[in-house]
Amino acid sequence: MGNGRLRLTIIAALASLLIGGASAGTTAASDRGGDEQADTAVPGVAPSGSDAAAVYLDAAGRVIDMNAVDESGTTRHAAALGCTPVSGRDNPHRSSTGVAASGHGWWEKGNCGSDRAKVFNCLYEWYTDNTWRQQACSETKTLKPGGGSVQRTAARRDCRDTQRTSWRNHVDVDVIDEIDTGEKPMNQAEVDCRVY
């Protein structure tokens, strides 16, 4: 094979890889053990009873074990001994500007002694393949207990249209210098905001 023909073969192979590469939907399907067809799921309102088999996906389409992983991807186990903070969160809602889904996170001391905790929250949108897909996470902040407009985190994601869709706002609290339980409480609400 001549050099010119070899170059054309290599260029054709690279183009094929670039054009026919795996989509984000394929990644999500293969991580869940499904076939590798295009993702046809769309956002919507979660039907009652769908929660038992629901799967959480991160922003890259990988399955998340909501009971075992913190914001850094580190496995957390419920503390056998330790304190239990109260994770504060609001319902997912339209932001004050009206162009984004929004949710906030904060904490109360519960039976913890420390007055500081690392807090973050993430928003998940429900899709018709019974997945909750991560759409936004706040930065992790070190907060005093109590909430309010200053002592809280905020996750936001711009809406692409105003169709009614189910959203969840999950909050994680990690009390500083104390062992604490690793629950991830959440609130769910329907919001006139949809992200594709």
**pLDDT, tens only, 73-128:** 433 444 457 899 999 999 999 998 878 999 999 999 999 999 999 999 999 999 99
Angle at 126 between CA 120 and CA 132, to 5 degrees: 50
15 and 29 assigned to the same domain = yes
72 and 137 assigned to the same domain = yes
For 38-76, write each residue's pLDDT tens digit: 679 999 999 988 887 899 999 999 999 876 644 444 334
95 and 162 assigned to the same domain = yes
48 and 15 assigned to the same domain = no
CATH number for 101: 2.60.40.2550
Query: 0.85 cut: is pTM over it?
Result: no
Which residues neighbour 133 within 8 Å (Cβ) at sequence distance 6 or greater? 56, 57, 61, 124, 125, 126, 127
96 and 158 assigned to the same domain = yes
Angle at 181 between CA 136 and CA 51, to 5 degrees: 50
For 123-169, write each residue's pLDDT tens digit: 999 999 999 999 999 999 999 999 888 899 999 999 999 999 999 99
Query: What's the domain range around 176?
Result: 41-194
Distance CA 104, CA 121 (A): 7
Instruction: Tell me the torsion sign for CA atoms 32, 38, 39, 40.
Output: negative
Q: How many domains does the chain have?
A: 2
Distance CA 90, CA 58 (A): 21
123 and 174 assigned to the same domain = yes
128 and 54 assigned to the same domain = yes
Written as six digits, the tokens of 181 are 């339980």
53 and 89 assigned to the same domain = yes
89 and 146 assigned to the same domain = yes
Q: Which region, left, alpha or beta, applies to residue 181 given φ > 0 means left and ψ of -120 to 50 means alpha?
A: beta
Percent with pLDDT over 90 in the chain: 59
